Amino acid sequence: MPLLIHALILRPEALGDLSSALQHIGDVTGAGPLELVAVKDAGAVAVPLEKVPSPPSQEELLRYADAVEQLAALATILPMRFGSTAASPEELLRMLSANRDPILAALERVEGRVEYSLRILAPGEDGAHPRDLEGTVPDALSGGGIQREYLRRKYQAHRQAEQLSREATELREELKLKLSALDPSTQFVLSDASAFLVDLSILISRPAAAGLGPVFDLFGKEHPERPLMVTGPWPPYTFSSLTIQ
């Protein structure tokens, strides 16, 4: 029977009565009978399914995410995207055996760490700082006429886009500097395809995460016009990139 894989898990043999914990997680989340398939110090947690729903319902996605979060509270894991499957337990075991080294490296990279999402909304059309857009337009765009008015608007839009790009870079670098001071091993992933002015995912050690509040408070005081939205802690979804053979 096919298996829907929820997560890869580090050193499952060191977790004590894991089977009882998996049964509990499966029961309370409604995910189903979670099973462990393991090879030495790497394993995978999955649930048998006759058919993986495609597309999944919102309820199924929420159950899946709930189970992954509870697994992350139990052990070091790499979450798998919904729809990751193996044809059988034997096929999953073969995959784990063939990819043991990269799986272990990826799991150890996120061990003891949690993910947060940091976002700053992009301003609307009237959200740019007027002081940054002051100044005369080039002489060639001065004067009347529909064409020159159109070009002036394009010029101002271009200037605003440049200003926002500079500001986004400055804000990102400031956040990185502050967070690296808290934990030099903090990892960052920038989302380029985003409607936000800043869209940054961070992976930070659990002890350092306890000190995030004062860092974010200080950033907010220094940039009251650019509120920082923080969500997390999450399992390391953004940092679970892994090439499987």
Q: Which pTM value belongs to this model?
A: 0.82
Interval 184-212: pLDDT, tens = 999 999 987 678 999 999 999 999 999 99
Q: How far apart are CA 59 and CA 62, in angstroms?
A: 5
Look at residues 123, 203, 130 and name the one whose alpha carbon lies nearest to residue 171: 123
Angle of helix 146-182 versus helix 212-222 axis, rounded to 10: 150
Interval 58-84: pLDDT, tens = 999 999 999 999 999 999 999 999 989
Q: Which of 49-53, 178-182, 197-201 has the lowest mean pLDDT?
A: 49-53
Q: What percent of the chain has pLDDT over 90?
A: 67
pLDDT of residue 208: 97
Mean pLDDT of the 33-58 span: 90
> Two tokens at 105?
């490296």
Residue with the larger pLDDT of the pair 106 and 50: 106
Mean pLDDT of the 19-33 span: 93
**175: CB partners within 8 A, 6+ apart:** 118, 198, 200, 219
Interval 111-136: pLDDT, tens = 999 999 999 998 764 444 544 444 55
Strands (E) across 82-227 are located at 85-86, 113-121, 187-190, 196-205
